[in-house]
């Protein structure tokens, strides 16, 4: 158990809908990262937050957005969902000054 929690574990929705994925980092970690992993694909970095501020953006679609709240939990919002958005979405966190990222169990999103 890494100490990173994600909810929900599974999400099934329809095309065109909007969903919100939630992540709580390890206690004391200020950085949160979001990743997408499609079937048999590698990890694709989406976005990073540090202490509430966006720090880096990867291959994140304009239909996707994220934020980090004062209590350091983060939410990833996915809108106008398409079939191709079906994937595992992982959140990771890291401690200030330490590069290692610790991953949550993921949310499996299925878009029908």
Partner 1 sequence: EDQVTQSPEALRLQEGESSSLNCSYTVSGLRGLFWYRQDPGKGPEFLFTLYSAGEEKEKERLKATLTKKESFLHITAPKPEDSATYLCAVQDMDSNYQLIWGAGTKLIIKP
Sites of contact with partner 1 (CB under 8 A): 2, 4, 31, 42-43, 45, 48, 55-56, 58, 88, 90, 92, 94, 99-106, 108
Q: Please list, residue by residue across 45-56, b when 16 or more beta carbons sit within 10 angstroms of its beta carbon and e when fewer do.
A: ebbbbbeeeeee
In angstroms, give the least distance from the CB of 16 to partner 1. Answer: 26
Beta pairing partners, 13: 111
| Closest CB 61 distance from partner 1, rounded Å | 18
- Smallest distance, partner 1 to C-beta of residue 72, A: 16
Name every residue whose Cβ is closer than 8 Å to that of residue 53 and which is 6 or more positions away in sequence: 68
């Amino acid at each position: 158990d890494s100490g990173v929690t994600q909810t929900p574990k599974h999400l099934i929705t329809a095309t065109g809908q909007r969903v919100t994925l939630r992540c709580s980092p390890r206690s004391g970690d200020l950085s949160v990262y979001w990743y997408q992993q499609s079937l048999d694909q590698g990890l694709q970095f989406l976005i990073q937050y540090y202490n509430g501020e966006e720090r880096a953006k990867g291959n994140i679609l304009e239909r996707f957005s994220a934020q980090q709240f004062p209590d350091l939990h983060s939410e990833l919002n996915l809108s106008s969902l398409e079939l191709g958005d079906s994937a595992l979405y992982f959140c990771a966190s890291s401690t200030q000054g330490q590069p290692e990222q610790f991953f949550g169990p993921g949310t499996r999103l299925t878009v029908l």
